[in-house]
Structure 1
């Protein structure tokens, strides 16, 4: 989500990628980013050349105790050098703790790591989902950094990794597909269609993703089609490139998997976010000072307590979602407005989905029509979310206002749910949206993003 926001916000950057020649087949690679990448190699395993690639990350070969099933491995098992996305790199840069939880008993597991925005105190969680197939193998959705701890937690499931899936074009999810796949060389790699990078649109092989197969919309020929179905959202270009995301439905557990389409912000911070990050965000730093407009702010050290950790979390969320930056001084009211409910992230809604409402509406309607899910697992914030079709439609209720009465594809019952729940789910106070609305207007005015992009002709109302 962070990388998608940065790509949308900084499309005119002239920063180019660095190309270097790695010698370690377990090194990491970058794809789908508009930013420069840098990598450090540690203890290469061999001297075999793999060609020219864009290297961004490398897991070290350190010795440490095995990670426990709860994600409590030693610090050495969490070591991972990661300097990517200049000038807005995605941290943490040296250590990533992995938390594993069981979402559906004996069937679905969630793996989470912290994801930080550059050198700031802004963090969220990034999630990999693993499903055990009837074959006994594992299906991996949106890989995270393959630290020693993370790989140990995967292998403890006692099953081979058969498939690795990249469900989006987004940089933060693409970055670890290469290094993760080299930990499981027998696994097949499947990727969302229309992968792109900027400023050079290079093939996936340049980013360390080899022998990848492309997911096609509603394709029933995938090896897992009898257990997991998928639908592709592939929009026209909304700026420097298209928005592409693949939703998956695990039939046996009635679980919907998405990447950035919807989120559920929890009241408390995810376990993988460190207390140091939370307390740093709670401090009256540079951003808060600027927004205080000369107000005298306390500068004493922040005491480590639950109140300050919560304040740090609330400030983080508002900055991640671009909501009410002026409310960073007192974030509780704005945080309460958008937390504890299924929503479309305000920044994705404003900069992406509002540009292609027909395409998004068709995708969501198809998901709600064909899949009877009872839980949703996104790639960020809380999961699993106990939510079904009515909650998903309500989260996208803003599309009805954009499309108007001339575009009706939903059955009347779903329209009723959307009208009752949609306004509450997608509404944010105007004061909270000021900065994001201004950013959108600016990007449209300079041609960085488009005002609207028609996905197809609108249908007339059917009686």
Structure 2
């Protein structure tokens, strides 16, 4: 149980935007809930952010929406299930953040990368804007904004684990890390990786603020269906102060 059941099920967020909660994975020995974001582009093709493990029921539901045309590895640690999707949908274009290729190679994972983000002319048109978050040599993540719904899509830059969805022994660890709901943010080790690039990070956050998000979709934990701009300012106050 992840606390986000039903899993492998399309859950509407806004017009042409869905989330799909997936099974938990283990990272640093901790169980992490997973979440994929699905966008239907104006041409009818589907854009999958941080794909979870493919599931037969999920594949059928996606096929009913449209063809999968884009697979997104949004940061250097969110790529593990891409080879399975590539095998099923070899015609889909795989987009990856900086660092994904090196990390996959170091894990002996065969991963085809077609485009490296950020990209000057992404093939998803005007529906989605994107930004490489600057300031860290370790954590390279691309933030996305679904423009029609003003939805900010993040991966690990904000994590927001709920007490109800984690084991009691995890709560003190999450409190120390700083990513426990209702005050979810980047975990402390990630924040420390930006300490020399705080000014660059601040400019990136200001770019995200300029998108004026109505909501923020996260890969881990409770996401924010409203007050997106306010939650963005709260979660990045450590960078803006």
Q: TM-score, normalised by structure 1?
A: 0.46
Secondary structure of 1:143's match?
Answer: coil
Task: Give 1:184's aligned residue.
Answer: 89
2:161 aligns to what?
265
Q: How far is the alpha carbon of 1:192 from its aligned partner?
A: 1.1
Q: CA deviation at 1:103?
A: 1.4
| 1:100 pairs with 2:10 | yes
User: 1:112 aligns to what?
Assistant: 21
Quote the offset at 1:178 in angstroms.
1.2
User: How far 1:150 moved relative to its partner?
Assistant: 3.4
Deviates more, 1:375-384 or 1:144-153: 144-153
Query: In the TM superposition, what is the alpha-carbon distance from 1:189 to its structure 2 partner?
Result: 1.0
Post-superposition offset of 1:148: 2.6
Match of 1:56 in 2: none
The answer on whether the counterparts of 1:144 and 1:180 sit within 8 Å (CA) in structure 2 is: no
Instruction: Write the distance in 2 (CA, Å) between the matches of 1:382 and 1:181.
Output: 29
CA distance in 2: counterparts of 1:400 and 1:234, whole angstroms = 14
Per the TM alignment, residue 392 of structure 1 is displaced from its structure 2 partner at its CA by 1.1
Map residues 320-335 of structure 1 onto 2, 5 A cutoff: 321=174, 323=176
Q: Is residue 207 of structure 2 the alignment partner of residue 366 of structure 1?
A: yes
Instruction: Specify the alignment match of 2:220 in structure 1.
Output: 380
Residue 226 of structure 1 and its aligned partner are, at CA, apart by 0.9
Q: SS of the residue aligned with 2:148? A: coil
The residue number in structure 1 matching 2:182 is: 340
* Residues 340 and 71 of structure 1, relative CA distance in 2, 3 Å threshold: closer
CA-to-aligned-CA distance 1:103-161 (integer Å, 9 cap, x gap) = 124x11111123243796x4231111001111111111011111334323423x43110
Aligned CA RMSD, in angstroms, stands at 3.1
Q: 1:354 to 1:118 in 2, by over 3 A?
A: closer
| Offset at residue 365 of structure 1 (A) | 1.1
Which residue in the other structure is 1:254 paired with? 150
Query: What is the aligned counterpart of 1:152 among 34, 56, 60?
Result: 60
Name the CA distance, whole Å, in 2 between partners of 1:359 and 1:372: 19
Distance 1:216 1:400, change over 3 A: closer
Does the 8 Å CA contact 2:224/2:231 hold for their aligned counterparts? no
Go from structure 1 to structure 2 and tell me whether the alpha carbon gap of 1:231 and 1:210 turns closer, same or farther (over 3 Å shift). same
Change (3 A) 1:395 1:339: same
Aligned to 1:175: 80
Query: Per the alignment, in what secondary structure is the counterpart of residue 203 of structure 2?
Result: helix
> How far apart, in 2, do the equivalents of 1:375 and 1:136 lie?
23
Aligned residues of 2:96 and 2:113 also touching (Cα < 8 A): no
2-side partners of 1:98 and 1:252: how far apart?
25
Q: Distance in 2 between matches of 1:245 and 1:161?
A: 22
More strand by percentage: 2
Question: Which deviations, in whole Å up to 9, do the C-alpha atoms of 1:212-238 show, x marking residues without a partner?
Answer: 111226x3x11113110100024453x
- Structure 1 unaligned segments of length 5 or more: list them: 1-69, 73-96, 270-277, 279-311, 325-333, 402-463
TM-score by length of 2: 0.84
Higher Cα Rg: structure 1 or 2?
1
Q: How do 1:10-409 and structure 2 match up within 5 A?
A: 98-105=8-15, 107-117=16-26, 122-155=30-63, 157-170=64-77, 173-195=78-100, 197=102, 202=105, 207-216=109-118, 219=120, 221-237=121-137, 242-266=138-162, 268-269=164-165, 312=167, 314-319=168-173, 321=174, 323=176, 338-349=180-191, 351-369=192-210, 371-401=211-241
Cα separation, partners in 2 of 1:119 and 1:215, compared to 1, 3 Å? closer
Determine the C-alpha separation between the residues in 2 that align with 1:384 and 1:118: 23
Residues 346 and 153 of structure 1, relative CA distance in 2, 3 Å threshold: farther
